[in-house]
Structure 1
């Protein structure tokens, strides 16, 4: 087979006044072949015929019209589904190895006769005009706090022109987390862009049945910062493309930094927050030129932040509990039947009564969960020990594994009085020290000493006796004559 390189050499030799016979011989071809290509004035690759014929019979030729009708009715059908259907209606006709042939045939049909595909239009971004935000799940990073799994989300804020980014750790896609994250980002930024675009978050965007586009609270947040609110269309994450792409790149950068660090465990939440901030600062370092362009065009921040928490007035039930956002929390039994104000934040909720904060409780995420603090109800549980066995929230009344082990031991030894005995131990924890009682229970269980309220009380008393009294303070007598030396030094200097 004659190659393009041989013909180029032939032409080069002919231009040097070589004879056709010599040039053809040096180019490695027959003189007639050389004359043919010189006359055609084309390379072999240009004279090659396009391969547009089949080398073997199409096994799906008889069924193709049927297949095409199926695709025209529903273009989403996969080739494998159609192939299995053809095998079912034509037993023994098609072998599994012929699937690839059908896949190629359908691929060609989609590209030449199928429905048109969605087209994406690149957008130009202008400084100071648009910011985007969204939540992303960080669980895949496998971060732990004090060796405990730390499942969390990240509220991600991005300026579309400079790609400057920031964010904050959160635990749900609630409005409180959205409000806190957005306001933190704007105050860190030091200004406000023209518009802000978000995903179709239920905390910000109403469902299709509501005529209002955005929720009342989200509109209030946008109006406070004079931001023009935007939202993407349903199932179109590409419309929030800058922040979506930043999700992947930020998590990849964080993952790489964790690998360099050599550990994914952190001493505390504060240490992890600091680590994330360092990664964000490093990523923003290469964007400062475009960021400075953008910063000059940002609008001024309002005089103050908007409160992120949601204020809810609820009445304390007879069970000394309140229901907030689908979850149950306990409060002090003194507040039973009273109306209290709950300030629901992103991570905590505060219980206010008579203009005072009575409780600050970690927020529960999801629905139908409960957080009952035994200190709120222990006084009445000791008086009504029969209620403990079937108490709906009994699982919350075991502060640690040792308390649960102590209860199980009591049930095996004194089943009839186990509940009352355990509640008395719990009362000691509430009135004395939960940590001290926990340590005593650990020692009793480890040394196989029977657990009882009296045993715990005795050991607590011994611990108090071993502590030094604050009244037994020895103060050494002060010798004031040492100050005379200072006066002597001054007189010598004079």
Structure 2
């Protein structure tokens, strides 16, 4: 057609390398071959012609989210003669109908992230990985922090729910590990931290969260409730992190850890390797972050409790024992995610592991037998029906020993021996070693021999130091009297 603008049909055809007859045919009809071809009609009758508009469309309008396979099964129930071969035809027809008549869908607007602008926080449940601590399943979540621009990540093992305490502790750990703070901190609606609270409690938590962000110069923001993709920069990263942890557990060969500290170190190592891949990008974003304040702010909740005559206090449906000398005192407790710090006035007394109520709402107990053993020795039968008896035993061997003693001895004698065993573990500082001895005796079918155990764990006289005290003669002190007189005269 370009050559035809200046040349005759034969010349243009020669230059375009096709025949003169083809040139004249194009002159008569300039449509493309695809435009001359008549549309292909159906090669067989439409099996849905009599049911699509009358039955299928009403179902699609009545239940917009219904799956095509459900409509297919319903059609076969109504019209068995249609046969199973119409399924693909039905699915294509429904897809085409929805493309024209379905409701408008939500549009995802991709965002451009600036360095140092936004950090995001969220929690993700880790129960599906089956992590255990010393054989006991660990019910936990991960607090997950991420910078939207560079992809810097920080993860913190959380034993409780999505509380403000867990958020404050995890966020501050992340910021101090990063060495700076972004200008905006984004979370979801924090429903787990704010639900089931009255108006005053909600307002208090809101103020605490805003004060936390203000301490680091960050502007708090939240995504709309139930719209997870607004936090897509961290929601998608949840899956990648959990898969990385799962793969690392498979390579490790076991999901059991000796203690919580070992598992936290395992998570930190995985996150560090992920950050190392983005090291250059993270370093470039660090220059755009705000400086950290001089100190951290509170990442705990402070509560005043009263120690009852039971030798402890109840907090959040958990009973904690404390030394009995504190009965009647009011204590100040700092509540962290995994432990409690107990103060009387401004003096720190002790740290207790944090307990959680049972999933059914039943109360739990955190008991240290050292706090009550002195009273229990005076009233050993109290052990028989003690509310927190199972939590009193520091190790499984002690619980097994008490079960065997109860089966073979009268209750009174069994309680007396068990209390003496606990007292021996406390006084001689041999809790672990005594547990090994009890396990060996029970495995051999023997009852614990209290006299033998006392002898075994008695102090060795050969190892006790021989202290010799030499008294100075009294005449030696007379020179001191003379020195004092001279000093007084001077």
| TM-score (ref. length: structure 2) | 0.78
2:251 and 2:35 map into 1 onto residues whose CA distance is 55
Quick one: structure 1 residues 286 and 405, their matched pair in 2 at CA, closer, same or farther if it must change by over 3 Å?
closer
Please, which of 441, 451, 459 is the counterpart of residue 444 of structure 1?
441
Contact 1:131 1:197 in 2 (8 A): yes
Deviations 1:145-170 (A, max 9, x none): 56665554222111112222223222
Please, which of 295, 308, 325 is the counterpart of residue 316 of structure 2?
325
Instruction: State the secondary structure of the residue aligned to 1:58.
Output: coil
Quick one: structure 1 residues 373 and 130, their matched pair in 2 at CA, closer, same or farther if it must change by over 3 Å?
same
2:325 and 2:39 map into 1 onto residues whose CA distance is 91
1:47 and 1:278 map into 2 onto residues whose CA distance is 67
Cα deviation, residue 443, structure 1: 2.8
Can you give the 5+ residue segments of structure 1 that lack an aligned partner in the other structure?
Answer: 1-12, 21-30, 474-494
1:410 and 1:204 map into 2 onto residues whose CA distance is 46
Higher mean C-alpha displacement, 344-353 vs 357-366: 357-366
Higher mean C-alpha displacement, 121-130 vs 293-302: 293-302
Q: Write out aligned runs for 1:63-78 (5 A).
A: 64-78=53-67
Cα deviation, residue 74, structure 1: 3.2
Cα deviation, residue 185, structure 1: 1.2
Contact 2:176 2:292 in 1 (8 A): yes
Contact 1:192 1:301 in 2 (8 A): yes
Deviations 1:428-476 (A, max 9, x none): 333333223323322322333233xxx2243222332557423269xxx
1:123 pairs with 2:111? yes
1:394 pairs with 2:389? yes
Which residue of structure 2 aligns with residue 134 of structure 1?
Answer: 122
Which residue of structure 2 aligns with residue 158 of structure 1?
Answer: 146
2:346 and 2:17 map into 1 onto residues whose CA distance is 107
Quick one: structure 1 residues 412 and 106, their matched pair in 2 at CA, closer, same or farther if it must change by over 3 Å?
same
Which residue of structure 2 aligns with residue 171 of structure 1?
Answer: 159
Q: Write out aligned runs for 1:84-483 (5 A).
A: 84-86=73-75, 90=78, 92=80, 98-143=86-131, 149-172=137-160, 173-202=162-191, 210=199, 215-258=206-249, 269-367=260-358, 368-417=363-412, 418-432=414-428, 433-451=430-448, 455-464=449-458, 466=460, 468-471=462-465
Which residue of structure 1 aligns with residue 5 of structure 2?
Answer: none
1:48 and 1:395 map into 2 onto residues whose CA distance is 86
2:255 and 2:332 map into 1 onto residues whose CA distance is 39
Deviations 1:354-387 (A, max 9, x none): 4333331111245533222222223333444444
1:104 and 1:369 map into 2 onto residues whose CA distance is 57
Cα deviation, residue 314, structure 1: 1.0
2:27 and 2:364 map into 1 onto residues whose CA distance is 87
Instruction: State the secondary structure of the residue aligned to 1:215.
Output: helix
2:399 and 2:262 map into 1 onto residues whose CA distance is 32
1:187 and 1:52 map into 2 onto residues whose CA distance is 70
Cα deviation, residue 119, structure 1: 1.0
CA-based RMSD of the aligned residues comes to 3.7
2:196 and 2:30 map into 1 onto residues whose CA distance is 69
Higher mean C-alpha displacement, 267-276 vs 73-82: 267-276
Residues paired across the two proteins, number:
446
Can you give the 5+ residue segments of structure 2 that lack an aligned partner in the other structure?
Answer: 1-12, 468-490
Cα deviation, residue 230, structure 1: 0.7
Quick one: structure 1 residues 237 and 49, their matched pair in 2 at CA, closer, same or farther if it must change by over 3 Å?
farther
Higher mean C-alpha displacement, 383-392 vs 138-147: 138-147
Higher mean C-alpha displacement, 39-48 vs 167-176: 39-48
